Structure 1
Amino acid sequence: MAVPLGEVGHNEFLLKQVPVALSPAMNTHKIPISHVDSDPVLADLGEPNVLVSEKDGTTADVQDMQRMGKRQETRRNFRQITILGFCMVILSTWEAILATAVFALGNGGTAGLIWGYFICMIGFGFVIASLAEMASMAPTSGGQYHWVSEFAPPSCQRFFSYMVGWLGVLGWQTAAATVSYLTGKQIQALIILWNPSYVPKPWQGTMLIWAVLAVCLTFNTFFSRHLPLVEGIIVILHVAGFFAVIIPLWVMGDRTNTGDVFSLFQDNMGWGSVPLSTMVGLTGAASCFVGSEAGAHMAEEVRNAAHVVPRAMMWTWVGNGLMGWIMAITFCFCVGDTMSVLMTPLGSQQVQVFLNTTGSAAGATGLTVIMLVIGVFACVAVMATNSRQLFAFARDNGVPFSGIFSKVSPRLGVPLNSVYVTILFVLLLSLINLGSSVAFMQVISLGVAAMLTSYLISICCVALKRIRNQPLLPSRFDLGKFGLAINIIAVLFLVFLLVFAFFPAAPHPAVADMNWASLGYGVVMIFSMFYYVVRGRYVYVGPVEYVRKSQ
């Protein structure tokens, strides 16, 4: 049932709309007209892309927000360089491949890690290109659920958009738990390195998660205006740290035979099939690229978003992807005995490899500290992204207590309540770690499946419009005649990954070692469908309704 716009509450359509294109004479925001961000596309149309204000961004941003029927509530603090830095830090691919190498080493060995990562990098190139095009068509914090609402067939727009919104919330909320947990594990590994008698307790791991979350809360509230600068500084460490880690591994590490590194596939978990084991191990490499659409969720805080965001997404894929692959190859050359690394008493495979390579606890600590700092601020960026995604979905009445979560602090210009609820969710989720760290990792791993599903549905919708020769929205990042082929390859790749996202790490697992992602995934889907039937279908009409009302 379509709800009249006036009954939707927070998204009540603006009666006083801003002009589609503001000329210099109409610039009433007291911003010097010399501040011009020229755009060749708009220039060709005779519409100069002029800066309107710090909050509203450029005239192109104003036009995009008006078309989507949204009110500009956050400040557009991010520029082209800073959003690129934000995206690169949030993925931290070379750091992530080291942290998740255990999955591929156990399932596939060194060759499985190297070639599995390469396959995922190429496959995600098609996925990210598809998402980047949609981010240019509709540059909104809503991301996937908004795109589904605009591109899905009218008969299922509202329901599919609603479900994808919940998948996005689930994926980004668990991402914060994942990053904070892995960061805490590295801290515990350093403690064991310097004090071998130390036996980690579950409550200590949980407290480390909370400590990382405290840093995230601080930078997403009190220092929120300086977040672009902070992430810009951290991306310098991200690039410099890559060389600081890889050069010692090249110079000091013992070399494994080249033929073994690139061609020795192993089934260390007992699947009975090396190809199957290698495909199961792809999940670790795939997780390094999940979250690649983060820039899209920050679009309402980026100046000239339709042009800048998709390019930041693509450059992040190229830069981070190549650094990750070089690091994966280097790591595999330095692993040596795979089983001894997998069974390290430190509980962190990369720290063990650092120790083996440098031959000193101090050297291993120095390399690990670089990863720790980047990991903490990657979690800060994840927290910012998931709070914006939750804010956008609440703005469209997609979650309970939407009126609370959709509020933006007028002083800080960020959705504080969404930040708070994300912190609370991860705090509660981390309590699972008190009972079983294995169960905690399995629960938070469902975020990968949720994000893959949201990508899959979004790209299917735009591919279907292309197949039906239906017009698409104008885009300043256009895939052109190759669009359908790119979309189809992306869909096939995502379906392949999604199947193995629900596999356990080893065959015939005990109850504690089961991959509970399928259960968590199902519970969230059932709850969201139940809430949709009881409440959602009466208050959620989908972003496309606001688009129609604004036209």
Structure 2
Amino acid sequence: MEDKPTEKRIIAQEHQLGVNDASNSNTLFNSDAAAHRLEEMGYKQELQRNLGMVSVLGLSFAIMAVPFGTSTTLNLALTDGGPVTILYGWVFVSLVSLAIASSLAEICSVFPTSGGVYYWSAMLSTPKYSAFASYLTGWLGTVGNWTVTASITFGGSQLILAAATLFHEEYVPTPWQTCLVYWAALLCSLLINIFFAKHLDKLNTICLYWTGASIIITLLAMADTRNSGKFAFSHFDASNSGWPAAWAWFVGLLQAAYTLTGYGMVASLCEEVKEPAREVPRAMVLSVAAAAVTGLVYLLPINFVLPAIEPLLAVASLQPMPLLYKTVTGSASAAMGLLFLILGIWVFATIGSLTAASRCTWAFSRDGGIPGSQWWKVVNPRFGIPINSLILSTVVCALLGLIYLGSSAAFNAFTGVATICLGCSYAFPVLCSLLRKRAAVKNAPYSLGRFGFIINTITVVWISFSIILFCMPTAIPVTPQSMNYASVVFAGFSFIAALWYAVSARKHYHGPTLSTVRTAEGVVQVK
């Protein structure tokens, strides 16, 4: 007689809690074993395993896009503290992000599947709540992937139009112009993801070199320091925010937190990596470490050459970096040259974020988590990639752009929504693991050992605090223009997810189930 879904999950969890010995870990380090392991977890191999650790590292690094991400959100840190928030906020968030990335890497090494966080939540929670935990985390992760893609693409679109003001100071981009550039960028990213899919690993590798070269050139251009060391390391001014000084510093952390948030998205590429149990966890942690160093090297010179803050915050595009470059170099052409390097990083980030978002959408659709899953879970036989999920992710991001036509403040909230959604999706499986005394990751190939409990606790506590923090407006008193609409957008997506759960998912969604499970006693259970 066929087992019920709940019974299957119990068997699955018994397997994961009981059979993680060293011999099983070693067999994960080759492509054939990875495909076999994937079959054990309930899925057949549909995507080509042609990615290595460097490529995944490049993708994670591209999504975080440190020089680009910190540049497009510079106004947040300038409003809430200036140099102190920029520098020490980056250091603080980098350390916390290392803890989060390490926690996810440990779980990923045990469950190397493109399902990522929603699969991990299902396997780590109790059987009674497995399906709901999976559904909740799946939606948080998917929405987080979509909004990260939207915010990255839109930030670059704003930056492109802001570049025009270097030569025409009277020019003010209209919402329609910004949206058109945004949609064009999404379309180009979609076409590259489809027709150059086989070359994405090369693009991700190139991103590493481009970013390094960009920072070196920027440092040389900014070599003529203007501010004192005291200013660069200790100047703090929260007068533009209206918040008490200590709270303003925390609110300004969104600049760093938004930039350092995409590392978990690369888990959705596990089924395209040759040795996912080893390479993906390493890439997650190394990408955060590399991003932390990159950020310091890029941001500290900015503190030394930072001009008056008020004119930077007054720019109509909300992108102060072009004006900063122009002020520092004294030349519109030189500023455009530096901006070109940042926009190059943006190109890699846009392509990479859409890749990750489409794979996340595809994986969640395989288990019926999204309306119309029968379309989104299809892998195109010609290109070997989930084109339908690529198109869906692009369309969702394109529709989000319409919000900007009604309110620029509303779209700016997507940076907060992306950070909150991805943070929640990261915290949930880690919390489940903690509550079950980390039994499932006891013998993980990528183990945190005796420090695991402390590192996992830091992860959960920080993300819980950041949910409240990043719903706060950047400045007070609050106006329709300065209001942080992150909570509103978050509530909107939550309503859609809850409605779909009430209408269909609660009856039909059982979460990921295993097709073949070897229990601790060696018995094979077949669905």
TM-score by length of 1: 0.87
Counterpart AA for 1:532: Y
Q: 1:145 touches 1:165 (CA, 8 Å); kept in 2?
A: yes
- CA drift of 1:100 comes to 1.2
Q: 1:42 touches 1:49 (CA, 8 Å); kept in 2?
A: no
Partner of 1:222: 195
Mapping 1:288-367, distance limit 5 Å: 288-344=259-315, 347-367=318-338
**1:513 aligned residue (452, 473, 482):** 482
1:487 matched to 2:460: no
C-alpha distance in 2 between matches for 1:246 and 1:3: 62
Stretches of 4+ aligned residues off by more than 3 angstroms:
2-5, 41-45, 47-50, 344-347, 470-474, 544-551
Partner of 1:35: none
Partner of 2:376: 405
Structure 1 residue matching 2:281: 3-state secondary structure: helix
- Mark the CA change 1:67 to 1:514 in structure 2 (over 3 Å): closer, same or farther: same
- Mark the CA change 1:168 to 1:152 in structure 2 (over 3 Å): closer, same or farther: same
- CA drift of 1:465 comes to 1.9
Partner of 1:267: 238
C-alpha distance in 2 between matches for 1:479 and 1:273: 38
Structure 1 residue matching 2:39: 3-state secondary structure: helix
- CA drift of 1:305 comes to 0.7
- Mark the CA change 1:329 to 1:547 in structure 2 (over 3 Å): closer, same or farther: farther
Counterpart AA for 1:527: I
Counterpart AA for 1:447: A
- CA drift of 1:338 comes to 1.8
**Identical counterparts, % of pairs:** 29
Partner of 1:452: 423
1:238 matched to 2:211: yes
> Residues 417-474 of structure 1: CA distance to partner in whole angstroms, max 9, x if unpaired?
000011111111111222222222124531211111111212101111226xx34374
- Mark the CA change 1:362 to 1:122 in structure 2 (over 3 Å): closer, same or farther: same
- What runs of 5+ residues in structure 2 fail to find an aligned partner? 9-21, 518-524
Q: 1:68 touches 1:550 (CA, 8 Å); kept in 2?
A: no
C-alpha distance in 2 between matches for 1:472 and 1:79: 24
C-alpha distance in 2 between matches for 1:501 and 1:272: 14
C-alpha distance in 2 between matches for 1:201 and 1:490: 40
- Mark the CA change 1:412 to 1:352 in structure 2 (over 3 Å): closer, same or farther: same
C-alpha distance in 2 between matches for 1:150 and 1:386: 22
1:376 matched to 2:360: no
- Mark the CA change 1:136 to 1:471 in structure 2 (over 3 Å): closer, same or farther: closer
Partner of 2:178: 205
- CA drift of 1:529 comes to 2.0
- CA drift of 1:145 comes to 0.6
C-alpha distance in 2 between matches for 1:160 and 1:43: 27
- CA drift of 1:270 comes to 4.0
C-alpha distance in 2 between matches for 1:346 and 1:397: 41
Q: 2:35 touches 2:44 (CA, 8 Å); kept in 1?
A: no
C-alpha distance in 2 between matches for 1:493 and 1:500: 10
Counterpart AA for 1:531: W
**1:65 aligned residue (15, 29, 38):** 38
C-alpha distance in 2 between matches for 1:105 and 1:505: 10
Partner of 1:287: 258
Q: 1:83 touches 1:312 (CA, 8 Å); kept in 2?
A: yes
Q: 1:69 touches 1:550 (CA, 8 Å); kept in 2?
A: no
Counterpart AA for 1:131: L
Counterpart AA for 2:143: L
Q: 2:193 touches 2:351 (CA, 8 Å); kept in 1?
A: yes
Q: 2:151 touches 2:414 (CA, 8 Å); kept in 1?
A: no
C-alpha distance in 1 between matches for 2:137 and 2:176: 34
- Mark the CA change 1:373 to 1:270 in structure 2 (over 3 Å): closer, same or farther: closer
Structure 1 residue matching 2:252: 3-state secondary structure: helix
C-alpha distance in 1 between matches for 2:351 and 2:400: 17
Counterpart AA for 2:465: F
C-alpha distance in 1 between matches for 2:278 and 2:474: 41
Counterpart AA for 1:177: A
Partner of 2:493: 524
Partner of 2:445: 476
- Mark the CA change 1:190 to 1:221 in structure 2 (over 3 Å): closer, same or farther: same
- Mark the CA change 1:536 to 1:343 in structure 2 (over 3 Å): closer, same or farther: same
**1:175 aligned residue (139, 148, 166):** 148
**2:107 aligned residue (134, 147, 156):** 134
Structure 2 residue matching 1:210: 3-state secondary structure: helix
Structure 1 residue matching 2:240: 3-state secondary structure: coil
> Residues 457-514 of structure 1: CA distance to partner in whole angstroms, max 9, x if unpaired?
12101111226xx343742211112111110111111122221011011123123432
How many residue pairs get matched? 504
**1:533 aligned residue (490, 502, 507):** 502
C-alpha distance in 1 between matches for 2:138 and 2:41: 17
- Mark the CA change 1:380 to 1:403 in structure 2 (over 3 Å): closer, same or farther: same
- CA drift of 1:376 comes to 1.6
Quick one: higher RCO (CA 8 Å, sep 6+), 1 or 2? 2
Counterpart AA for 1:118: V
Partner of 2:117: 144
Counterpart AA for 1:498: I
Partner of 1:27: none
> Residues 72-101 of structure 1: CA distance to partner in whole angstroms, max 9, x if unpaired?
101112112212111111111232112212
- Mark the CA change 1:44 to 1:340 in structure 2 (over 3 Å): closer, same or farther: closer
- Mark the CA change 1:473 to 1:545 in structure 2 (over 3 Å): closer, same or farther: farther
> Residues 160-193 of structure 1: CA distance to partner in whole angstroms, max 9, x if unpaired?
1101101111111111110111111111111111
Mapping 1:412-427, distance limit 5 Å: 412-427=383-398
Shifted more, 481-490 versus 337-346: the winner is 337-346
C-alpha distance in 1 between matches for 2:381 and 2:50: 15
- Mark the CA change 1:386 to 1:550 in structure 2 (over 3 Å): closer, same or farther: farther
Counterpart AA for 2:492: V
Structure 1 residue matching 2:383: 3-state secondary structure: coil
Partner of 1:16: none
Structure 2 residue matching 1:445: 3-state secondary structure: helix
Structure 2 residue matching 1:193: 3-state secondary structure: coil
- CA drift of 1:339 comes to 1.8
> Residues 521-546 of structure 1: CA distance to partner in whole angstroms, max 9, x if unpaired?
12222321221122102221111455
- After superposition, the CA RMSD in angstroms is 2.1
TM-score by length of 2: 0.91
C-alpha distance in 2 between matches for 1:352 and 1:183: 15
- CA drift of 1:519 comes to 1.6
Shifted more, 376-385 versus 319-328: the winner is 319-328
- CA drift of 1:196 comes to 2.2
Structure 2 residue matching 1:136: 3-state secondary structure: helix
- CA drift of 1:59 comes to 2.5
- Mark the CA change 1:272 to 1:170 in structure 2 (over 3 Å): closer, same or farther: closer
C-alpha distance in 2 between matches for 1:272 and 1:471: 43
